[in-house]
Structure 1
């Protein structure tokens, strides 16, 4: 017996958009298995076929056997499993939903901050157009000041006059 199912409860298009590219094969296998199961269920009639008990009473020679089978068949109740987990899953989802929203808000702030930094970087002059004076104006702490503190090329600390190696032993 199967219920008349008119529409799948799964939105396959929406679900496919959420599947990462590396898991598309597993997703397609799952979808095919689900559709195969649905086809098998829909192939069955919605109700059990009617049994002609009078015909069986004429054929079966044991008295009372057909009546006994008929009463047992009519009293047969196939238990449907009780849904114990939907409420628990909904409760977990409700607790996760607040975490997801706070995470999304934090990520949105990070995105806006990063976008501001990208806008700042994009507003800078191109590397081949910038001069030492422009760099000194934009970044006074990082710029090399030749007048206040003369420096020799390659402008690293170990190439300057009066450099002392910090790893060398101190002389007494």
Structure 2
């Protein structure tokens, strides 16, 4: 006989903490369906109903018919389906955990890099107090270099001589 389900094995509170805010309605609908299913299962009896075979033997006139039904009914066994996917789920869980750990280490490396960048930006003068020379010293790759690379106002790349738009398809003539 199959194991009787008495309560959900899911920790709904822990799961709810991990659900993003925009997916809360779907989570609530899913939990409601799972709870309704569990209630329906719990309403069913643990075992099939017991039949009063003596009552049927007294009422059915065909000799041996009730005895044959009783024998067939007692021999009836509905097997519980075999678990064939737990191994697959365990292997997928291990792979996913490895992916999560890899993502965490990569994220921590990015966080450290961003912290360095923030520390560098915090060490600079505020932009409203910077001169052009201070900006050139802090961001040499972005600053205007009027001696080595003169540009025309408004100093945007598309306003300069010889600018070629890389998003346009080359002309065929």
TM-score range, shorter chain: 0.7 to 0.9
Q: Which has the larger radius of gyration?
A: 1
| Contact 1:19-1:27 at 8 Å conserved across structures | yes
1:122 aligned partner: 122
TM-score w.r.t. structure 1 length? 0.74
Change in Cα spacing, 1:115 to 1:8, as seen in structure 2 (3 Å) is same
Aligned residue for 1:83, secondary structure, equals coil
Cα shift at 1:109 = 0.5
Gaps (5+ residues) in structure 1?
Answer: 160-164, 168-172
| Contact 2:2-2:80 at 8 Å conserved across structures | no
2:30 aligned partner: 30
What is the count of residue pairs matched by the alignment?
157
Note the alpha carbon deviations across 1:98-131, whole angstroms, 9 max, x for none.
2321122111101111122122212322122233
Instruction: State the alpha-carbon separation in 1 of the partners of residues 42 and 145 from structure 2.
Output: 83
TM-score w.r.t. structure 2 length? 0.74
Change in Cα spacing, 1:135 to 1:126, as seen in structure 2 (3 Å) is same
Change in Cα spacing, 1:142 to 1:6, as seen in structure 2 (3 Å) is closer
Change in Cα spacing, 1:12 to 1:85, as seen in structure 2 (3 Å) is same
Aligned residue for 1:117, secondary structure, equals helix
| Contact 2:5-2:41 at 8 Å conserved across structures | no
Match of 2:151 among 147, 153, 157: 157
| Contact 2:53-2:66 at 8 Å conserved across structures | yes
Alignment of 1:75-154 (within 5 A): 75-135=75-135, 137-139=137-139, 149=147
